[in-house]
Amino acid sequence: MLSKIPVMVDKLQGKELDAEILRAGIIAELDAINLYEQMAAMTGNGDLKRVLLDIAREEKTHVAEFLELLLKDDEEQVEEMEKGKEEIEELTTKK
């Protein structure tokens, strides 16, 4: 894993610990997506490129799985994601 867990997990427990585990999982999967897509862009081998991009797509599914679990238990995250969605709608629909 290229990233490090950004908090001292030994001081957390219960839902807080689970949320941090899920966030660390998301970080790891995003790192993997970036790595596989960068390697795919570097190679001239078509088979290798297809495999790397397929694996990157699978990692995107893993991000979604971790995020869904996080959203089940973190109401504040749900609220903030909704705010972010609204802000993007406002920013991207104005011309």
Domain ranges within the chain, ordered by starting residue? 14-93
For residue 81, pLDDT beyond 70? yes
- In the 8-state DSSP scheme, what is residue 6? S
> How does residue 1 score in pLDDT terms, banded at 50, 70 and 90?
very low
* Under 8 Å between Cβ of 29 and 59: yes
Distance (Å, whole) CA 73 – CA 19: 8
- In the 8-state DSSP scheme, what is residue 13? -
More confident site: 81 or 15 = 81
Q: What is the pLDDT of residue 62?
A: 98
pTM, rounded to two decimals: 0.81
Q: Nearest Cα to 33, choosing from 56, 65, 54, 4?
A: 56
CA trace torsion 82, 22, 69, 30 (10° rounding): 70
Distance (Å, whole) CA 83 – CA 50: 36
Q: Which amino acid type is present at position 32?
A: A
Q: What is the pLDDT of residue 12?
A: 64
SS3 45: coil
